[in-house]
Each structure stands twice: as structure tokens, then as C-alpha cells.
Amino acid sequence: MNKTKTPLERVLWSAGPPPATPIWAGLHDQVMGGRSQGRAQLQNGDVSAPDHVLFSGLISRDNGGGFASYRMQLPAPAVIGTARALVIRLRGDSEPFKLCLHRQNGEDGVQWQADLDTHGSWANQALPLSAFVARRRGREVSERPLSPDDLLFQLGLMTTRPEPGPFWLAVVHIALR
């Protein structure tokens, strides 16, 4: 009998089951005068879908806009430790999204971003920590890569679109692996 060992995951955030998990807050292009809108809503699972948070809204290019983002403060800082990847269970609208990691508290500062592959079916996506690129206000910056000693304080999700229109992304959980 051949047993395959599954790598251990440390869940950073999950849509369910209770206890209640931290709330995602929207931080869209309105901070720069844009007009994009969005919301994050907990969706109870059923036979066709697990509990998840649905991130949805409308991207507007008015007033220099064009992005929507969400952040969630972890209940306690999480050390990266022996993890080599972040795993996210999701489905989406087949448009670009990014998963963002924050090594500091606060709304401004450097974040490490990796591209998500979204499509209409539920999928687990593993993002190697080496795939995360340091950015500040949308521009790549020179920062040391993520390391085992780093603490993660916040998680984020972001979408930017060249054309205006609706967006959606459903997420079940995010974990370190």
C-alpha cells in the first residue's frame, strides 16, 4: 500500500467554519480619487460550493482609477517558518488578481505580491514564496525576499484592469505550506 504524505498547512484565514475569522476591508482606488467600487461578503456553503468570501464590484477608469483591493489583519502575526508556499482555494472571473502579503501593520508600505490564476472552477493554487515580488503603490521596489524569520501581519487581494467593468473572486482559505 502506497501512502502519499500531504504537506502540513497552517491556515492563515478561512471563510468557515466558525470561529469567526477576521473581516476583509476594501481599500480601492478612491484613495487616489478613483471611482471603483467593491465589497467582500461571506457566502454560506452548499452542495455546489464551500463557505467562501465573495469579493466583487466594478472597476472604473474615471479620475485615474482602475483597481480594487482588500486587506485583512491577521489575528496574530504569523511567522513564515518552514513554509515554502502559500496555498489559496479560489475560483474567479478569469481576470488578473494578486495575493498580497504584508510584513508590517498599517495601510501604506511595501507588500509582496504574486499573480493568481483565476477561472470559473474551484481550484487550490500553490504560490511559491519565491514568486512574491516586493511592490509599493504599484511599483516594484528593491527589498529582500521573504524569509523564514519574517512575520506576516496582513493578507491582501487586489485586481487591476485596463478596461472598466465588473469583477469577482471567491476565496475559501489561505494557508502557509
Residues in the chain: 177
DSSP states along 72-129: EEEEEEEE-TT--EEEEEEEE-SS-EEEEEESSSSSSS-EEEEEE---SS-EEEEEEG
Question: How many whole angstroms separate alpha carbon 47 and alpha carbon 85?
Answer: 29
**What nine digits make up the cell of 118?**
483565476
Query: Are residues 134 and 110 in contact, defined by beta-carbon separation less than 8 angstroms?
Result: yes
**pLDDT at position 27:** 83
**pLDDT at position 94:** 95
Residues sharing a CB contact under 8 Å with residue 53, sequence separation 6 or more, in sequence order: 15, 24, 40, 41, 42, 43, 170, 171
Whole-structure pTM value: 0.89
Query: Are residues 27 and 159 in contact, defined by beta-carbon separation less than 8 angstroms?
Result: no
Instruction: Walk me through the domains of the chain, giving residue ranges and CATH numbers.
Output: 12-176 (2.60.120.430)
Helices of type H across 11-163: none
**pLDDT at position 5:** 43
**pLDDT at position 153:** 96
Report, as ranges of residue numbers, the positions in the chain whose pLDDT lies below 70.
1-7, 18-21, 31
**pLDDT at position 18:** 63
Q: List pLDDT tens digits, range 35-54.
A: 899 999 999 888 888 999 99
**pLDDT at position 110:** 92
